[in-house]
Structure 1
């Protein structure tokens, strides 16, 4: 008697890939718009710059170091389950940022302060939408976002509040490392997390239908 082999479950589905890459693109487009406003970097980008200046190293090395630290912290929270695959996602995000910065280079953002803030608001909104969407894919997030998820798994807080806690921590670390902090940095730190929390619920309701 010939036994039929069970069909192996695929590592990921097409819908997961669509959520993952669409979310990353929207997120990084938001980041690129934030950069173009020149009102300040995201808090963890400021941390990376602070580390690179302190140790006279490249920004990419500083970013990778922070990523490894986040993997370790997330693993500790999960009691020994380390996810080094998150570093691959970090590479995808870096590539996505380069693409989005290239796209936004064709658009001019007025240097007049009152005209810059709507663009900053748009960047924050897109970052929140994209962050919530790519996490819905179930594929490995980058190391920093995986640490945020680990907090929601261990403690009774939603993704928006966890993101806010992580970003405020990043802002404090950036301040201690004397990384560049602008008014935009503060807005990004305080608003992306709550925005992501709102759209996390929206995406959940849409994708479950």
Structure 2
């Protein structure tokens, strides 16, 4: 049963994460740095944002292996593929015709997206299954340099922000909010999700 809950948390986390990413992109406030990079690459070179999630993620797998001095975690490609598919599903199918009327609607969608991202990451990392290379970068920085999750996440986001600017991604005030807010949100939510996971796994023993 432990595996059952781990898979459930993994999939639910990726659904929430991809939903949150898609909402921030559609809000028009500016998406997260990595997502702005993927959208910028999509608009500049071609392919869908979800495809760039996979391609950029493969490069990050190699970077994470260098930081941790480990073999590349190619198992994370499964996480990449699922995340890319979910993002394209939300963006190209569910929200393709979404039109937001007014700044308050956009702000509400954006804030919902930020919460979805924080909840999604905090949920799926509890499954101890292969992390998205973006989140594995957070963990790699955390383990390599001893920073907490909040600082590690922020370092990764600032790196992506620079690249997103270079490739002309949709950067706005929302990008800065995501850059500095998601890390603390993960730090806040993670203990609660971990406690829920522990209670569920203990209950079935």
How many correspondences in the alignment? 197
Q: 2:182 aligns with which of 181, 188, 192?
A: 192
Residue 36 (structure 1) aligned with residue 26 (structure 2): yes
CA drift at 1:98: 3.0
Q: 2:113 aligns with which of 105, 119, 123?
A: 123
Q: What RMSD over aligned residues (CA atoms) do the two structures have, in Å?
A: 2.4
Name the SS of the counterpart of 1:208 in structure 2.
helix
Q: Which residue of 1 aligns with 2:137?
A: 147
Residue 94 (structure 1) aligned with residue 81 (structure 2): no
Q: Structure 1: how far apart are the matches of 2:117 and 2:19? A: 7
Q: Structure 2: how far apart are the matches of 1:83 and 1:145? A: 13
**Alpha-carbon displacement from aligned partner over 1:153-180 (angstroms, at most 9, x marks no partner):** 2222222321121112111221233333
Asked if the contact 2:53/2:83 (under 8 Å) is kept, the reply is: no
Q: Structure 2: how far apart are the matches of 1:112 and 1:61? A: 31
CA drift at 1:58: 3.4
Asked if the contact 1:37/1:109 (under 8 Å) is kept, the reply is: no
Q: 2:4 aligns with which of 7, 14, 36?
A: 14
Q: Which residue of 2 aligns with 1:5?
A: none
Q: Which residue of 2 aligns with 1:58?
A: 47
Larger helix fraction of residues: 2
Asked if the contact 1:86/1:146 (under 8 Å) is kept, the reply is: no
Q: Mean Cα displacement is larger for which, 82-91 or 114-123?
A: 114-123
Asked if the contact 2:54/2:81 (under 8 Å) is kept, the reply is: no
* Unaligned stretches of 5+ residues in structure 2: 200-205
CA separation of 1:187/1:137 partners in 2, compared to 1, >3 Å: closer, same or farther? same
Q: With structure 2 as the length reference, what TM-score do the two structures score? A: 0.84
Asked if the contact 1:35/1:41 (under 8 Å) is kept, the reply is: yes
Please say which structure displays the higher CA radius of gyration. 1
CA drift at 1:74: 0.7
**Alpha-carbon displacement from aligned partner over 1:14-44 (angstroms, at most 9, x marks no partner):** 0110110011111112122222212222211
* Unaligned stretches of 5+ residues in structure 1: 1-9
Asked if the contact 1:17/1:137 (under 8 Å) is kept, the reply is: yes
Asked if the contact 1:27/1:128 (under 8 Å) is kept, the reply is: yes
